[in-house]
């Protein structure tokens, strides 16, 4: 008799679970926002659009003060930027519409008049002659964070004309190339999922041959052409024998275990579809054709798959290096299940589990919420999180969404199914590719998957080819994106991704006297590389090398020469000074928030960009009392 405390598992098929009804919610962080005239009012809003796409907009404000509408999907915390262009008080509302539903949240906007007592000095600096220098040709653009071109101050830049790119096609080799591996299978063109996870690129480096992956599921169809030569002798924990063949009992059967096995390892034999790898499948029948099973049997299956002796079961002559669990049960990880998983992990075996198809947090479902399990959510062909997939899983893979499912074997042919059940074998197949490159620790393999994955808004998407590259770094990857451009005396920051299953100490070495450090260090996830170019650093290209966990990356730092500029300084009678920089040809200026009294203004052409007035540099002086417009300084 089997123990009575067993739990039922749910097959993670879209057709087998009831998805939640569409939901639209809207709330505001405050009922009243205030700003001064000419500023921007910030209104916090929270929107939850589940199972639909909503349009968010504001009603009840004057023209020119309404922020642009937004498209929202899922749960988002937003900050609505409202231009406070005129003084007054308005009763307005934020509206969310979608799926036939409309939600409104009222708020009050109070815009206060700018004080007439503000003290300012406004005018222009001219260099060399009394008239303003003519502007150079180009397009005026507003770039608050900086852009290419000549800075004009206040976030405005004059972008000069771009030069056309030179042809890059001359002298390239033209040797013939052809599809390799699974790309030659007849049904490969229908498998959108494999290119999305970059398996075809990875097959040139590894195929997964010789790696054993246990598929704990409903059993398999051993006579299916796509599974020919891929199956090892397995186990049946439902009927209690060594024949894991799934019986045919209903026309509604999906033959879930065969479908998962085909995604993982369908043979590249010129018939049917291509598997993600050419691993060998160790089938363990745990679930009935209806998709039910017991946690106690799952614990036995895990130990047997890893080659751990289990009383009452025959020895396993083909221990697995990877275990695929396209199943889940609701609730926390039990101590007994966690103990079995710890034993399996200690043997170097990685366990991959489906996140679940309930649109909830994956941590509400076992075994995906157990320690040491690599849990996988699902994305559709567009690379976005599938509507049914449980959220927050550490890794995402193709599982299908909408009208697009994942191709896999079934009785008499193939069919499309959707679910995190279909996403999990992609990750198991990628692990088979990695294991076939040589012996590596579970931490290194898991780190390589995370290191090679691509960042999308909902998480990290599997990239089999990049995972193979990351494995060369020991399963740790360091990523630095972009280039830092500094001037002598400036400091800047670049984001660095440290992708690893554990915090990694990172060594930082900078060229040319640059000062650089990483924070935090040791790092896991996102860290920040701070770089400073000391005063006197010669212009040129420099590198900062980062090394950790066997991986390395390089940050490129360009130090530019300090350009000529006009420096304007305004000092009060009490000695307090305000300064700003203008283009070398001068231009308009405005100094605000000044104190009453007389100000002495000095403007000079800072030819060497050092910020100090040198004897040979042109200068001009004036006096003014705020508020004042039309202040004029001539630098010569």
State the catalytic residues. Answer: 217, 256, 421
- What's the half-sphere exposure (Cβ side, CA atoms, 13 Å) at 311? 0
131 contact partners, CB below 8 Å, separation of at least 6: none
> In this structure, what token pair is assigned to residue 320?
């697995």
Q: Cα separation of 492 and 510, whole Å?
A: 14
String of b and e for 525-537 (b: at least 16 CB within 10 Å)? eebebebbbeeeb
Residues 188/194/198/199 CA torsion (nearest 10 deg):
-70
Q: Cα separation of 435 and 13, whole Å?
A: 28
Exposed, middle or buried by CB within 10 Å (0-12, 13-18, 19+), for 274?
buried
For residue 398, how many other CB atoms are within 10 A of its CB? 30
Exposed, middle or buried by CB within 10 Å (0-12, 13-18, 19+), for 538?
exposed
CA nearest neighbour of 287 among 328, 251, 333: 328
Phi/psi at 304 (5° precision): -65, -40
Q: Cα separation of 226 and 425, whole Å?
A: 15
Are the C-beta atoms of residues 401 and 380 closer than 8 Å to each other?
A: yes
Are the C-beta atoms of residues 297 and 325 closer than 8 Å to each other?
A: no
DSSP string, 550-575: TEEEEEEEEEPPPPPEEEEEEEETTS
Q: What is the DSSP letter of 583?
A: -
533 contact partners, CB below 8 Å, separation of at least 6: 486, 487, 488, 489, 490, 491, 514, 557, 559
Measured at the CA of 27, the angle between CA 23 and CA 31, to 5 degrees, comes to 165
Specify the 3-state DSSP secondary structure of 384. Answer: coil
């Amino acid at each position: 008799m089997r123990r009575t405390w067993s739990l039922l598992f749910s097959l993670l098929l879209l057709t087998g679970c009831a998805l939640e009804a569409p939901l639209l919610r809207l709330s505001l962080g405050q009922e009243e926002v205030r700003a001064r005239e000419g500023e921007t009012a910030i209104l916090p809003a929270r929107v939850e659009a589940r199972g639909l796409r909503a349009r968010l907009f504001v009603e009840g404000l004057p023209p020119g003060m309404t922020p642009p509408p937004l498209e929202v999907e899922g749960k988002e915390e937003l900050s609505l930027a409202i231009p406070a262009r005129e003084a007054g008080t308005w009763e307005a509302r934020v509206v969310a519409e979608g799926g036939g539903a409309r939600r409104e949240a009222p708020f009050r906007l109070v815009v206060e008049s700018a004080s007439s007592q503000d003290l300012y000095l406004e005018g222009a600096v001219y260099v060399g002659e009394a008239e303003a220098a003519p502007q150079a040709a180009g397009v005026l653009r507003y770039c608050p964070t900086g852009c290419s071109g000549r800075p004009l101050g206040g976030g405005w830049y004059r972008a000069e004309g771009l030069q056309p790119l030179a042809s890059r096609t001359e002298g390239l080799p033209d040797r013939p190339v052809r599809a390799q591996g699974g790309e030659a299978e007849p049904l490969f063109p229908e498998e959108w999922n494999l290119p999305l996870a970059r398996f075809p690129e990875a097959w040139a480096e590894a195929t997964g041959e010789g790696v054993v992956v246990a598929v704990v599921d409903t059993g398999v169809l051993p006579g299916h052409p796509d599974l020919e030569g891929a199956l090892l002798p397995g186990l049946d924990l439902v009927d209690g024998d060594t024949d894991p063949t799934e019986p045919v009992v209903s026309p509604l059967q999906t033959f879930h275990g065969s479908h998962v096995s085909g995604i993982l390892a369908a043979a590249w034999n010129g018939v049917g579809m291509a598997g993600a790898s050419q691993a060998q499948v160790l089938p363990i029948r745990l679930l009935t054709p209806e998709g039910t099973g017991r946690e106690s049997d799952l614990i036995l299956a895990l130990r047997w798959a890893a080659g751990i002796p289990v009383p009452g079961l025959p020895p396993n002559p083909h221990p697995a290096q990877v275990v695929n669990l396209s199943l889940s049960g609701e609730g926390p990880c039990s101590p007994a299940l966690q103990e079995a998983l710890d034993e399996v992990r200690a043997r170097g075996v990685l366990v991959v589990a489906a996140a679940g198809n309930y649109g909830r947090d994956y941590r509400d479902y076992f075994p995906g919420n157990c320690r040491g399990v690599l849990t996988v959510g699902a994305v559709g062909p567009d690379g976005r999180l599938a509507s049914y997939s449980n959220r927050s899983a550490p890794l995402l893979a193709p599982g299908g969404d909408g009208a697009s499912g994942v191709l896999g074997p079934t009785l008499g042919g193939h069919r499309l199914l959707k679910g995190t059940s279909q996403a999990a074998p992609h990750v198991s197949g990628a692990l088979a590719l990695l294991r076939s490159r040589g012996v590596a620790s579970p931490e290194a393999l898991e780190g390589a998957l995370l290191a090679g994955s691509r960042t999308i808004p909902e998480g990290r998407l599997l990239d089999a080819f990049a995972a193979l590259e990351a494995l060369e770094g020991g399963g740790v990857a360091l990523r630095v994106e972009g280039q830092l451009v500094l001037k002598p005396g400036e400091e800047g920051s670049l984001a660095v991704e440290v992708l690893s299953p554990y915090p990694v100490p990172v060594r930082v070495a900078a060229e040319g006297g640059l000062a650089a450090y990483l924070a935090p260090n040791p790092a896991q996830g996102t860290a920040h590389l701070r770089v400073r170019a000391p005063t006197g650093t010669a212009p040129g290209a420099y590198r900062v090398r980062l090394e950790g966990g066997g991986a390395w990356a390089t940050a490129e730092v360009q130090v530019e020469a300090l350009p000529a500029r006009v420096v304007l300084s305004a000092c009060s009678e009490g000695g307090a000074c305000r300064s700003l920089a203008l283009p070398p040809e001068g231009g308009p200026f405005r100094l605000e928030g000044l104190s009453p009294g007389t100000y002495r203004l000095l403007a000079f052409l800072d030819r060497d960009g050092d910020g100090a007035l040198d004897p040979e540099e042109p200068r001009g002086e004036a006096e003014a009392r705020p508020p004042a417009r039309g202040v004029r300084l001539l630098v010569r």
